[in-house]
Structure 1
């Protein structure tokens, strides 16, 4: 007797903040839909379970980074990873997501067959090594945007000479002892500015942030007193909703101000930094980036902790280029040598699309740059594949929530009309540009390997929550770009894997 693989309506890949959110929306909006969440690791939480470096936290406020349907009740608005992880797992339990998560299930391949109108997915069990097959009507990629296996570390001359320890924040050793030691953190992004005060608090002798280029850094309160007050007055649900809208508006206004008046924004940020730093500190060398505010993400430091450690003399900033590692530290191009016992390479991430899964459509391998993003959630020419990528200029989850809502509405439409297949088809000759208009190093290193975006809606990657509320939440599911069909061989139109040339 032939045993058929298990079939699901939707296969969600990843049990991080996006995957848990997608599962909750399916349960709430599509109660008859069969689905499972496959998670390669042994625990949920994604980023917030993977990273273990000192001080890891969100630099977005949790009233917007949290789910719209699940109030954030912790008094800390800028929260540590353990608090965020507890919130995610509480959400998973409270909304019935947990029974749908299958841990240590790594998706290796996903192959679409137009004739069968379904995905055939190869899965490997991390605990037993067993490999098996599932089929699904839809695949929803909630895999995040970076490679979980390895962070980005540039080649450093003389690295093997260094006699101390070298660690990358993505793979932080549980037993790393840095008490009383000299630490050099290479990098100036969110991870680096988090590590400095956290390692000082953890007992490091002195921590130096070595940066090639400064980053815009702003102190923010770790507690949102107005949001906490609103919850007391209006109740958890209503208070959270009002605080969320307040912070969404605040984020947008700050971003728009920086984009419209970059010189004024630069002056204001410099003024805030100068007041927070010791008298006579060289602000223009160490806190004055060569680019405009929000060309890269602005780093937030809760309660100005980074500046406090610099004022106390426990941390310092050096802006220079590395010539070579030495036995005892790092020799800079200026000739200065930074002595170190521990070097932390907070040099960023490696972007990775769909978690590195091998995707084929009717036997043709997906080549992402040949495809254009549709509504920021599907790819031209690729049937029944959705994914979640959040905002770069605001809280990630704001976008993900809207996409999950829209995805459920799309499934509803297909069920009502009897369709099995949905594929976006881009207009011929449409001009395209890189998927993300963002100058961060991790984006620029990967931009040539990512899909493209078009020059008009719905082919643009919107970075405006207000626009997406109108277009994604309030707009119609059906438009001329989406082609629907049934599984009947006589009626199904073969979905091309060709897209608009870049």
Structure 2
């Protein structure tokens, strides 16, 4: 058994973990670190999912890292391109040399005596156990279970004589050419799968219990392509990024403030896309815009597949599977050779790791999160979570920057341990993923950490507000405890309004 010590131990080599390592390299060059990755490749989500058409559901100019421009005019990139972008970023900053692949973390315990984390991991290929110690632990594992997706137990499922394939475990040799396919679900995965498979399948039916708000988006940004011809790549990236952040924020805020008006807007766009070729009841949700995440339709491909007759939508509930397909509550039957339950994620925190402090398990569902980065009462531990209402990486970037600010602050003052403390009973009922009513969030409400009702414990889901908090507010704020002693409340910097706004839109 080998044992090694690092200043920072990062768990996960996906978008968030590679981003954390790059920020360390840029902002804390003297820190030693390692990345523990259970899989055998970089990429996380973008290495795991292999279903046809897998792509981003956010525009790449905001999904890309703030320190490394996404080049080209592609707004929605396919999974392979995103994985390559993350891999190239890791190579450019040399962080790929710090990754331990095939290593599954089994336990992480904070020792108050030694003032460090003790982490046990197993090499899944050899079975060898490795022990690591680290001053600071950062979880970059996302929030879902990589081993299995969520799938309900459907009545009569065992009688179906065709194939049942979950998108999270897509077989490389699946042949759907000329076959009848039913995709269960109406989220981003289903919206991507249906038009892609319809190009070769005999017919694809999207079976949904309720509709989702959809927004067509061109896959190529002609304005950005024009800017790239006359401006340096980084400048063009910043301008496009600022524009897209502003538009996304505007759509979200207007949806919350004027839901009826935005509902009319979204449904009007879809009605024009369909051109009278489909029943609008399949596209009219019974909830307000952004109560659930808005789904992007690349180049309107779903609408084109429906208008061509290659795809259709059924809005109903499942009565049972049959040998030849699915019987619906309405009595209708959908014939299928292949059924794809695109029914969502199985939420899992920290990749299933059960952390502890001095041998006492940390029950994450009973914890609140400080600035959506640190765990209340847990020393020297960060968790990186992105946004649910805009690109994930926007939040991951500034959360990673905050951790680097914290590390440098501690080093400058000789501080070894930082622990957020809630002395005001701030615990609320909303989870760290916010108030979205998506099924996968609701199913995991009893597993997710909570956010507080006010102050640094409350998650704003507002990028401009978070830039102000994470980049500019003082590290000492009265909520962090340093080496067991409460910190004083620091004076807010006189940044005014324009500095955080300029920083949010154009970078630090």
- The reply to whether TM is greater than 0.5 is yes
1:208 paired with 2:193, answer no
**Structure 1 residue corresponding to 2:382, chosen from 386, 400, 404:** 386
Structure 2 match to 1:67? 65
CA distance in 2 between partners of 1:477 and 1:305 (Å): 47
TM-score by length of 1: 0.95
Q: 1:304 to 1:280 in 2, by over 3 A?
A: closer
**Structure 2 residue corresponding to 1:313, chosen from 309, 322, 337:** 309
**Count of residues paired in the alignment:** 484
Mapping 1:157-306, distance limit 5 Å: 157-201=155-199, 203-279=200-276, 281-283=278-280, 285-306=281-302
Structure 2 match to 1:489? none
Structure 2 match to 1:27? 25
Q: 1:212 to 1:405 in 2, by over 3 A?
A: same
Deviation string 1:154-207 (CA, Å, 9 cap, x unpaired) is 110000000000000000011111100000000000000100111012x11100
Structure 2 match to 1:89? 87
**1:26, distance to aligned residue in structure 2 (A):** 0.4
SS in 1 for 2:260: helix
Q: 1:297 to 1:173 in 2, by over 3 A?
A: same
TM-score by length of 2: 0.94
CA distance in 1 between partners of 2:2 and 2:342 (Å): 47
RMSD: 1.3
**Structure 1 residue corresponding to 2:421, chosen from 421, 425, 428:** 425
Structure 1 match to 2:117? 119
CA distance in 2 between partners of 1:29 and 1:457 (Å): 27
Mapping 1:414-453, distance limit 5 Å: 414-435=410-431, 436-453=434-451
Structure 2 match to 1:488? none
CA distance in 2 between partners of 1:271 and 1:421 (Å): 55
CA distance in 2 between partners of 1:25 and 1:350 (Å): 29
CA distance in 2 between partners of 1:326 and 1:5 (Å): 55
1:331 paired with 2:327, answer yes
Structure 1 match to 2:358? 362
**1:431, distance to aligned residue in structure 2 (A):** 4.6
CA distance in 1 between partners of 2:274 and 2:22 (Å): 45
CA distance in 2 between partners of 1:281 and 1:400 (Å): 39
CA distance in 1 between partners of 2:426 and 2:23 (Å): 33
Structure 2 match to 1:409? 405
SS in 2 for 1:386: strand
SS in 2 for 1:151: coil
**1:437, distance to aligned residue in structure 2 (A):** 1.3
* Consecutive aligned runs of 4 or more in structure 1 exceeding 4 Å deviation: none
Q: 1:303 to 1:115 in 2, by over 3 A?
A: same
**1:427, distance to aligned residue in structure 2 (A):** 2.1
Structure 1 residue ranges without an equivalent (≥5): 486-491, 495-502
CA distance in 2 between partners of 1:217 and 1:4 (Å): 51
User: Is contact 1:278–1:310 with CA below 8 Å preserved after alignment?
Assistant: no
**1:281, distance to aligned residue in structure 2 (A):** 2.3
SS in 2 for 1:5: strand
CA distance in 2 between partners of 1:5 and 1:50 (Å): 29
